[in-house]
Amino acid sequence: MNNKAIKIKRTTNFTGKRKIGIDTNTLIKIYKFPGLYDYEESRIFNYKEIIFIHSICNYEFIKYLIKEDGLSLENAKKEAKIFLKEHNINRIFSKDCFISESDENKFEKYANSIFKQKI
């Protein structure tokens, strides 16, 4: 029997700016294990305006530094700021990633109308 294989290759082209978000667990891992920057994939941290964290992630990272490294609040804030700057990690603040109040009110009215129809 003669088996033939089909090879499928996917090519992706990016246009515009790329943005990648990381969560608190990932941020802590790359802080705890600096050897991860030795991997080829870590070259993405060499570029600015690509890696982002939410401001809550920064707060959780500071809490981690206080608890695990025994730093004071001020020193933990400084350490977090230095680490983020050295690795080109940017913060996104709440106003950048939440919907507006008017959109929220529109959605609430829409959802309530759907629920009323179901009752």
Q: pLDDT digits over 48-64, tens only?
A: 888 888 888 899 999 99
Look at residue 14 and tell me if it is in a domain: no
Look at residue 2 and tell me if it is in a domain: no
Q: Report the number of distinct structural domains present in the chain.
A: 1
Look at residue 38 and tell me if it is in a domain: yes
Question: Model's pTM, two decimal places?
Answer: 0.62
Look at residue 63 and tell me if it is in a domain: yes
Q: Does the structure show a pLDDT above 80 at 113?
A: yes
CA distance 24 to 46: 20
Look at residue 108 and tell me if it is in a domain: yes
Look at residue 6 and tell me if it is in a domain: no
Q: Residue 100 belongs to what domain range?
A: 20-118
Look at residue 53 and tell me if it is in a domain: yes
Residues 6+ apart with CB under 8 A from 60: 24
